[in-house]
Chains A and B, each alone.
Chain A
Amino acid sequence: MALRAEDPSQLSKSRLKSDLVAHNVALPPSKSRKEVYVELHLKHIERKTAADFSSDEEEQARHAKEEHPEVPDPGALTDDDLQAALLKRGVKVGPVVASTRALYEKKLLKLLQPDGHGQLNGADSGAGYSDSEGEERGGEGDDAESDCEEEKQTVQRSDQAPQQRRQLDMAVVDERTRTDQSLYYTPKASAHKTKTKLHQEPVEPTFKDMFAATESTPTGIYATQRRPIKGAAGRPVRYAYPDTPSSPSTLQRREVARRLVPVHIQLVVFLVVTCLLYFIYVCVEDNSWSPFLASLDNRNQGPDSEEGLLLQADTPALSGQE
């Protein structure tokens, strides 16, 4: 609301009173004359008319300076100083850039307030937060996804303890908080995660080198152990074992398989031999059995002439064939 550049003496006493109250100025006793009010009005509100925003910041700065002479307004700090101030209070901060600066400034303010006067300033900041949250909630109303219940919850929570809610060291327990995880996010290198991975880990010597260097990073930014993207960004997929090892049973099967082929050849040979023998049998049968029987009788009579008789048996068979 823009302040009118009017002479305060022209304003009514009640108006002056309300103006003073609005600017957090201590009211004089109610029986005072209007001039007292005018004086106070001029003294305190004069500053406002000069430049609204800058005077707000000045008041804030003065507030902050009164509380903490060591750390001035976070808005006035450089990026590095802001980072250092937060690190001093044990907050892990990333780089302070355009998009993160506002967030870190707010965080530092929050951390400064409990150190200083405490409740009073906390109430102020709480009022400030509830105002901004009111705006945010107004924006939420347009959201299709937001539920009425959620809004009520945030209202209740903000009304109860804005400080507690805003303390980021405390875990924010929603009704939808996952119970199987811890509420505090601590990015430690979790070795067990890599063991439970289902896929084979490719052997990457550069990967390990990366981890060896993490302790000596100057900015304190370290990478947690993660499974690398396989086959992406020019990273070839290399496995520790080039071929799958064959079990003894498969080796045996292979040996047996090798023998299977000769078995066929063996069968063929057997059949050929059988055929030959049958052929010979048929040939023998064609000739009369009489010379064969005769040779057998001779054989029974005298074993000496055995060889000669055999020869005789062979030659008639052959001559018979011709």
Chain B
Amino acid sequence: MSTTSQKHRDFVGEPMGDKPVTALSGIGDSLGKKLEDQGFDKAFVVLGQFLLLKKDTEMFTEWLKDASGANSRQAGSCAQCLKEWCDAFL
């Protein structure tokens, strides 16, 4: 818990439903906009990509950096967020 942000805890605490992509930990407004431009407009679409990569956080981090221009910290945070969500709900 010490290294997770409030946004992370909010996301991982409940089913994501129709939350926007900016609800993901590490994804702010500008990164969210870039993802939406590519068609990843909802958090569950990004989850889909994460699952396609077989829930491999490193591959997902790399993909996210390429797709949205995120830095390592942001991409890693997002990957960790999705991984924990999957552990809890999938």
Question: Within the assembled complex, what's the spacing in Å between the Cα atoms of A78 and B78?
Answer: 30
| Chain B residues closer than 8 Å to A146, beta-carbon distance | 71, 74
CB pair B54 A136 closer than 8 Å: no
Q: How many A residues have CB within 8 A of the partner chain?
A: 36
B26, B52, B73 — which one has the most chain A CB atoms within 10 A of its CB? Answer: B73
Tell me, in angstroms, the Cα distance from A142 to B15 when the chains sit together.
31
List B60-80 residues whose CB lies under 8 Å from chain A.
61-63, 65-66, 69-74, 76-77, 80
**B80 and A178 within 8 A (CB):** yes
Q: Give Cα A140–Cα B86 distance, bound, in whole angstroms.
A: 28
- In the assembled complex, the CB of A156 is this many whole angstroms from the nearest CB of chain B, namely 12
**Bound CA span A185–B59, Å:** 10
The number of inter-chain residue pairs (CB within 8 angstroms) is 88
Range for the number of chain B residues in contact with chain A? 35 or more
Given A94-B52, A99-B63, A144-B30, 19 additional A-B pairs, CB 8 A: A92-B54, A99-B52, A100-B49, A100-B63, A102-B66, A103-B53, A103-B62, A139-B34, A142-B30, A143-B31, A146-B71, A151-B71, A172-B58, A172-B61, A174-B76, A176-B73, A177-B76, A185-B83, A187-B54
A141-169 near B? 1/0 per residue, CB < 8 Å: 01111100011011000000000000010
8 Å CB interface, A180-204 against B: 185, 187, 193
A-B pairs with lowest CB-CB distance, top 3? A139-B69, A94-B54, A145-B28
Contact present for B65 and A136 (CB under 8 Å): yes
How many Å from the CB of B17 to the closest CB on chain A? Answer: 12
Is A226 part of the contact surface with B, judged by Cβ < 8 Å?
A: yes
User: Which B residues are CB-close (under 8 A) to A102?
Assistant: 66
Q: List, sorted by A's number, 22 A–B pairs whose CB atoms are closer than 8 Å.
A: A92-B54, A93-B54, A94-B52, A95-B52, A99-B49, A99-B63, A100-B49, A102-B66, A103-B62, A103-B63, A106-B66, A144-B30, A153-B72, A154-B72, A172-B58, A174-B73, A178-B3, A187-B54, A193-B87, A226-B90, A229-B15, A229-B89
Q: Is A268 an interface residue (CB 8 A)?
A: no
Q: Which of A93, A97, A144, A176 meets B76, CB within 8 Å?
A: A176
Contacts of B30 in A (CB 8 A): 142-145
Say whether A176 contacts B3, CB under 8 Å. yes
Q: Once the chains are docked, how many angstroms separate the CA of A99 from the CA of B3?
A: 30
The residue on B at minimum CB distance from A187 is B55
Residues of A within 8 A of B80 (CB): 178
B56 CB-CB contact with A under 8 Å: yes
A221 on interface, CB distance cutoff 8 Å? yes
A92 touches B56 (CB 8 A): yes
Q: Give the shortest distance, in Å, between A291 (CB) and chain B (any CB).
A: 94
Q: What is the distance, in angstroms, from A304's C-beta to the closest C-beta of chain B?
A: 99
CB <8 Å contact, A185 and B57: yes
Shortest A72–chain B CB gap in Å is 23
Would B66 and A103 count as touching, CB distance under 8 A? Answer: yes
Is A100 a contact of B58 with CB atoms below 8 Å?
A: no
